Amino acid sequence: MSTVTTVAKAVVAELNAHEGFAMAFTAVYSVKPSFDLTALETIRVVVVPKSYEIASISRAASKYVATVDIGIMKRIGTMTPEEAVDTLGDLVEEIIEFLKHQSLSDFPAGQVVGITNDPLYIPDHLTGQRTFTSVLTIQYAMLG
């Protein structure tokens, strides 16, 4: 198994083991996430391996960075787009706060070195599909 897929699966395990999120969900690992809109009646959290970088930091050492994307999706139902962004945006921030200092039990060598929430939400999904979609990109670095 590649390093980046190992990291992605470790992130899924950490998210699923944590019981402190205000909204319940089960994170899943996927290499090709695609959902029918009816499947988004409940919150979907999908972790996808994104990239793997190696940079030399000296003749004898390298820095390895595994990057994963986390998609957070849900149909907004009767909520207004503004309510959806406020409510589900809070969940996105909870996930960020949880992961930013969380060691990965299944991959303890990886440490978070960066988190980006881009897009915060996709406006076309809110209005066209009435679905909240947000993406977190998290970088885990290892030295070797």
List, for residues 84-125, the tens digit of each pLDDT value: 999 999 999 999 999 999 999 999 999 999 999 999 999 999
For 107, other C-beta atoms within 10 Å of its C-beta total 19
124-to-3, 121, 127, 136 alpha-carbon distances in Å: 34, 9, 5, 18
What CATH class does 3-143 carry? alpha beta
Q: Quote the percentage of the chain above a pLDDT of 90.
A: 90
**What residue ranges do the domains of the chain occupy?**
3-143
The pTM assigned to this predicted structure is 0.94
The predicted structure's pLDDT at residue 71: 97
Question: Which of 70, 77, 9 is closest to 42 using CA atoms?
Answer: 77
pLDDT > 90? residue 19: yes
The predicted structure's pLDDT at residue 7: 98
pLDDT digits (tens, 9 = 90+) for 57-72: 999 999 999 999 999 9
pLDDT > 80? residue 35: no
Q: In which band, very low, low, confident or very high, does the pLDDT at 34 lie, cut at 50, 70 and 90?
A: confident
More confident residue, 87 or 37: 87
Determine the angle formed by the axes of helices 3-17 and 81-99, rounding to 10 degrees. Answer: 110
Work out the average pLDDT over 33-38.
Answer: 79
